[in-house]
Structures are given as structure tokens and as C-alpha cells.
Chain A
């Protein structure tokens, strides 16, 4: 008893200045934490709660979580996801599309980032601005513009017909091809910017040293430039891969009926089927499922640095 009062009294007395400093620090950290709490954690818990309930024809369309003090939640909705192959297929397909488009954006973005990083100063700023320029128009408008380009009597088909390269319009819209075009086009800046930020710091004398020691341009790239730019590659891949998994607008507008992506399934469950409980379960599973590849990329990033 005496000991505890003594300790608490001493504790409140001595580290007072440190506590004051701690308050200031907490206040700074609290802002983003509060933001995440209100706009991420609470909605997440709400959605998680809905996913445990039974569907019901009501408004909102789900039953209560507690009734007369009894917990009514169960994992039925999650089991339903396993029973219907649609969800697993959609998830795997999302992963596949995300992986392929990440590789494509990397292949296109790396040379662009490298060229920008290596160009002299006034031109470099202009090129960087050009990369960011598409953001000045709405993302939705730009995806709609692709419809105009890719559709049966769209710009590309008409041009090819007029040139005589083809005699029948190509079916491009509502295919996986169109989805890849849309995704790569939309997410390219997210690949280029972190890669550029990394490559611009690359010390030119390292490349000279490699050449001086007998390495040709290809070897220098593979042995020096590439390994040193790995952190940029990982950052760019994460910025493309993660949002593409949950991408909804591009597959909805450019994809066909067989372009199954988890984001689209989620939309359909919520707004077409009005099955909020299953939709919530899909949302939770998707979130958890995205964490797995992120952890994998994080591991690579840690090993690199």
C-alpha cells in the first residue's frame, strides 16, 4: 500500500517535463491516428459486424447482431463464399490481372523513369510534368475515352480499316486486353514516380566505375543499376499491385462479362443483389487477402535495404 502510493507519487512528480513533451508528441501523432480510427477502423468494424449477421429483407437489409443479450453472429456468409466458386475464381483472377499488369507497367515504366532520370535538368522537369499531366483530367473521363478508342467503330478500328490493315473491326472492348490497356495506362505514373525518385539518386560515377572495371552496358545495368533500384521497383510494384487487386471501374467499363475481378463482384453483391452481409464478407476477405502479397513485398523490400 505504502509502496504503491510512494511509487505513484514519485512517478507523477519526477517525469513531469517529459510528460509535457510527451503530450505534444501525442498530439501530433494523434491526428493521423484519429483520422485512421474514424475513417478506417470504425468502418472496418461496422463492415466486419455486418458480415457476421443474417441477411433480411428489411432496411438496412440485415438482421441484428445481438438480440435479448444473445450473440447472433456466425460465419455463414464466409462459408458461403467458399461454397460458390465464383468468389475464389474472382479473387484468383484479380491476383492474376494485378500481377500481369504490375509486370507490364514495370516493363514500360522502368525505361521511362530511367530516361527521365538521365536527361538534363530543364527537359527532366518537363518530362516529369508530362507523366503527371493525365491526373489533371478525371480518371473516369480518361477510361471513357479508352472506350471511344477501343470500341468496334472506334478510332483505332476505323484507322486500321481505312489503312487496309484489317477488313473487319477487331474486338478489343470488353476483353481482358482492354482491361490491361486501361490498368497499365492508369497506373503507369504510380510506377514511374517512385522509380524516378530512386534512379535520379543513382551516382553516375558508379556506372563509370563499372565500365572502367570492364563491364559492358548490359552487365552494368544488371549488376549495378538494377540492384540499386530495387527499393524503387518494390515501391512502384506495391503502388500498382495493391490498388489493382480491388480495381472496379476499369474492369466494369472496359472488361467483358468474363472479366471477373473481386472489386466488381463486391459491387454486384452490394448494389445488384443487395446482399450486404455477403458483400461485407467479400470486403473483409479481400482486405485480408491483399495483406498477404503486401507482406511478401515488404519482406523483399527489407531484404534489399
Chain B
């Protein structure tokens, strides 16, 4: 039995009012719509990731929340308050910039104190809260340093501390980990989650890194060409991509194009170049409709003997890449299509090698039907 899940997920039943309401917001630069009619609800305490490639409009959307861009149309509400006429310096938001934007002429502690001083807080309180923040981001000894005397990781922490010290209702983070190397990025991801959990601040993170989005977020909004194409929890986005774009953008995927051949109550059959492929029944797809079956590489089983799965094919090992924890096989099907399959490198199994004939199979439930 699984332990009861007590993690709050207010977006599932939607009884609590959302904390941030984005109502059909559009931003045009000339003829180009950077953000095109986006609506989105985000709840208190969420760590929401806006995920997409460069130029998809995710940063523009974030900048409209911060107040640096004025929407061409649409409304942003934070905590029930319309933000249309509120300038950036009066918004209950703070932003962590991609470039960190630390004031080069101020020491670490002055950078962090800057926001508090603008609120007219007393000297003692400012000093206390700066010290508290420095401790939180583990920069205690570096208060007097200037930004140029810090490493990239330290600057990232100063930027985080500066944006958090005012205890904003909403923290906006633009590619917060983009400038860090891989190992530091992974460490910092978990720290970011811990800090967010401790302070209970709502985070909206813009990233192009799907792994980062998967690790960090309560929910992900996938953006493409100024629109949000899918919103969901990381598992939903990965396991049940709503479109070919999402399936392809998040992780690697095998797509079998074909058309709907038969629909039964407990399965659908898709006719493809590889033969009939069974998938779970999905509403909204008509007969003969052009579709694709998306199957994740790790959901396909490989074997030297014939497998008794819903979908079974044979193939030849064309190439493989040994990754340590797993091996990625490139398998050529008789149709000429190459599929990738990930095998965990467990104990004892003999690895497949070049030109070996293998059987592959996956249950109908492992496939997802997408349009296109």
C-alpha cells in the first residue's frame, strides 16, 4: 500500500481560489506576438515552471508578471489584485534575473539590504534580516565582498538572497541556474526547493532545461510560439503528453506515425508502417485520423526470445551508447525506422551488441496517442 499523499495540490480540485490569475494575456512587439492569449492559474506555495525553447515567450510572460513589460491585452491578478496599473516597484513580486543584475558598486550585504532600505526599515532590522538571509544562502563570511570578487555560484546565491529578503508574495526566477555548471546546478536545485519550502513563497521559474523543470516544479507549463501548450504535474507532462510537440520536447520519445484503424472499449489499434500498434482508448480521435503513438525508450523491453507483449516487434541493434547506469540502444526495425530503447544496467544480464537481432515489446498502456 502506498503511504497517503498529504502533499497539497490545490490545482487538482480547484476549490481554493488561485493566487495568481493570468487572464488571456497577449504581448505584441510590432506584428510579432511574443505571448499569445495565455491564461494560467497558479496557487499559493507552488513552484511553477514555465518551460520552453528560446523565443517561446516564457521570459516575456515572466517580465509581464514583474511589471517590466505592459501587456498588449489581458490582465494579471496577484492575490486578487489587478496589476495592470501597478509599476514594478510597487508590486508584491521580486525577481531573480538571469544575469543576476547585482549592483557592481555595492558589497554583498548592501546588495541584499537595498530592497529593505527602500521600504524604509530601520538600520537594526535591515542588518538583522540581511544576516539571516546570508545564513540561509550560506554566504556568512562574504558580506563585505563586491560581486566581482565572487564565483558564479556565490553570485547566484547573492541574487537569490536579494530577491528573497523582502519576503515577496511571488518570486520570479529567470533561468536561475542557467549560468552554473552541471554539478553545482543539481545541488542548487535541491537547495532552491528547500528554501521555497521553508519560506512558503510562490515561485515561478522560467527555464529551457526540462530536467530542471522536472526536478523543481509542482507543475510545469510548456510553452511554444507564445502559447501554453500543456499545463500539468511533471509526471503528467512526461507520461501523458498532450501533443506531439510536448512528447518530443520533454525527454526522448519514439513516435510511430499512423492512422486510427479500430477503436474498442479497452484499446485502440493504430495502423503504422510497423503494423498495428495497440494503445489505451483515447476520446476525441476519429477513425482514419492521422495520429502518432509516443512510446518512451525506457518503457520498451528488450529480449533475445520472442516476447508476449501487446506490441511486439523485431529489430537489429544498429548502435548503442553505454551511459553507466543505463545503455541506450538504437534499433533498426524492418520498416527502416530507428527506435531508441533504454535498458537499465542491472546485474548479470548480458548486453546486446551490434547487428544482434532482438525482440522488443511494450504493453498497450505504455503508449500515448498524440495528434499529428
Q: Does A171 contact B (CB under 8 A)?
A: no
Q: Does A208 contact B (CB under 8 A)?
A: yes
Residues in chain B near residue A208, CB distance under 8 A: 66, 68, 88, 95, 97, 101
Known: A203-B99, A205-B99, A208-B88. A213 touches B104 (CB 8 A): no
When chains A and B are docked, how far (Å) is the Cα of A224 from the Cα of B115? 13
Shortest Cβ distance from residue A207 to the other chain B in the assembled complex, whole angstroms:
9
- In chain A, what residue has the closest Cβ to B105? A227
Residues of B within 8 A of A (CB): 66-68, 87-90, 93-95, 97, 99, 101-105, 114-115, 118-119, 162-163, 166
When chains A and B are docked, how far (Å) is the Cα of A209 from the Cα of B96? 8
Shortest Cβ distance from residue B59 to the other chain A in the assembled complex, whole angstroms:
12
Pair A205/B114 contact, Cβ less than 8 Å? no
Residues in chain A near residue B87, CB distance under 8 A: 211
Pair A212/B94 contact, Cβ less than 8 Å? yes
When chains A and B are docked, how far (Å) is the Cα of A286 from the Cα of B108? 45
Known: A210-B114, A212-B95. A205 touches B101 (CB 8 A): yes
Pair B101/A203 contact, Cβ less than 8 Å? yes
When chains A and B are docked, how far (Å) is the Cα of A300 from the Cα of B178? 38
Q: For chain A, give the interface size range.
A: 10 to 19
Pair A209/B97 contact, Cβ less than 8 Å? yes
Shortest Cβ distance from residue B169 to the other chain A in the assembled complex, whole angstroms:
14
Residues in chain A near residue B102, CB distance under 8 A: 209
Residues of A within 8 A of B (CB): 203, 205-206, 208-216, 219, 223-224, 227-228
Residues in chain B near residue A224, CB distance under 8 A: 103
When chains A and B are docked, how far (Å) is the Cα of A203 from the Cα of B101? 8
Shortest Cβ distance from residue B111 to the other chain A in the assembled complex, whole angstroms:
9
Shortest Cβ distance from residue A305 to the other chain B in the assembled complex, whole angstroms:
10
When chains A and B are docked, how far (Å) is the Cα of A116 from the Cα of B67? 25
Pair A209/B89 contact, Cβ less than 8 Å? no
When chains A and B are docked, how far (Å) is the Cα of A223 from the Cα of B330? 58
- In chain B, what residue has the closest Cβ to A217? B89
Pair B101/A214 contact, Cβ less than 8 Å? no
Known: A212-B66, A213-B162, A214-B166. A206 touches B89 (CB 8 A): no
When chains A and B are docked, how far (Å) is the Cα of A193 from the Cα of B89? 31
Pair B105/A212 contact, Cβ less than 8 Å? no
Residues in chain B near residue A203, CB distance under 8 A: 99, 101
When chains A and B are docked, how far (Å) is the Cα of A75 from the Cα of B163? 66
Residues in chain A near residue B88, CB distance under 8 A: 208, 211-212
Pair B89/A212 contact, Cβ less than 8 Å? yes
Q: Which of A205, A211, A227, A228 contacts B89 (CB 8 A)?
A: A211
Pair B66/A228 contact, Cβ less than 8 Å? no
Q: Which of B68, B99, B104, B115 contacts A214 (CB 8 A)?
A: B115
Pair A213/B97 contact, Cβ less than 8 Å? no
Residues in chain A near residue B89, CB distance under 8 A: 211-216
A selection of 24 A-B contacts at a CB cut-off of 8 Å is: A203-B99, A203-B101, A205-B97, A205-B101, A208-B66, A208-B88, A208-B95, A208-B97, A208-B101, A209-B102, A209-B162, A211-B67, A211-B68, A211-B87, A211-B89, A212-B66, A212-B88, A213-B114, A214-B89, A215-B89, A223-B114, A227-B105, A228-B104, A228-B105
Pair B166/A206 contact, Cβ less than 8 Å? no
Residues in chain B near residue A213, CB distance under 8 A: 89, 94, 114-115, 118, 162, 166
A-B pairs under 8 A by CB, number: 58
Residues in chain B near residue A216, CB distance under 8 A: 89
When chains A and B are docked, how far (Å) is the Cα of A90 from the Cα of B340? 88
Residues in chain B near residue A215, CB distance under 8 A: 89, 114, 118
When chains A and B are docked, how far (Å) is the Cα of A189 from the Cα of B321? 64
Kindly list 16 other residue pairs between chains A and B, CB separation below 8 angstroms, not including A206-B103, A214-B89, A214-B118.
Answer: A203-B99, A203-B101, A206-B104, A208-B88, A209-B95, A209-B102, A209-B162, A211-B68, A211-B88, A211-B89, A212-B89, A213-B115, A213-B166, A215-B118, A224-B103, A227-B105
Of the listed residues B68, B101, B104, B166, the one surrounded by the most CB atoms of chain A closer than 10 A to its CB is B101
Residues in chain A near residue B90, CB distance under 8 A: 214
When chains A and B are docked, how far (Å) is the Cα of A82 from the Cα of B352? 101
When chains A and B are docked, how far (Å) is the Cα of A149 from the Cα of B285? 83
Shortest Cβ distance from residue A262 to the other chain B in the assembled complex, whole angstroms:
37
When chains A and B are docked, how far (Å) is the Cα of A211 from the Cα of B67? 10
Shortest Cβ distance from residue A212 to the other chain B in the assembled complex, whole angstroms:
5
When chains A and B are docked, how far (Å) is the Cα of A208 from the Cα of B93? 13
Residues in chain B near residue A212, CB distance under 8 A: 66, 68, 88-89, 93-95, 163
Residues in chain B near residue A214, CB distance under 8 A: 89-90, 115, 118-119, 166
Shortest Cβ distance from residue A67 to the other chain B in the assembled complex, whole angstroms:
61
When chains A and B are docked, how far (Å) is the Cα of A214 from the Cα of B115? 6
When chains A and B are docked, how far (Å) is the Cα of A211 from the Cα of B102? 13
When chains A and B are docked, how far (Å) is the Cα of A221 from the Cα of B66? 20
- In chain A, what residue has the closest Cβ to B98? A205
When chains A and B are docked, how far (Å) is the Cα of A219 from the Cα of B88? 14
Pair A219/B118 contact, Cβ less than 8 Å? yes
Pair A209/B103 contact, Cβ less than 8 Å? yes
Shortest Cβ distance from residue A219 to the other chain B in the assembled complex, whole angstroms:
7
- In chain B, what residue has the closest Cβ to A207? B101
When chains A and B are docked, how far (Å) is the Cα of A210 from the Cα of B110? 12
Of the listed residues A206, A212, A216, A228, the one surrounded by the most CB atoms of chain B closer than 10 A to its CB is A212
Shortest Cβ distance from residue B156 to the other chain A in the assembled complex, whole angstroms:
14
Residues in chain A near residue B118, CB distance under 8 A: 213-215, 219
When chains A and B are docked, how far (Å) is the Cα of A224 from the Cα of B102? 11
Shortest Cβ distance from residue A85 to the other chain B in the assembled complex, whole angstroms:
45
When chains A and B are docked, how far (Å) is the Cα of A214 from the Cα of B168? 11
Q: Which of B66, B67, B68, B101 contacts A206 (CB 8 A)?
A: B101
Residues in chain B near residue A206, CB distance under 8 A: 101, 103-104
Query: Would you list the 7 A-B pairs with minimal beta carbon distance, nearest first?
Result: A213-B115, A214-B118, A209-B101, A205-B101, A211-B88, A211-B89, A212-B95
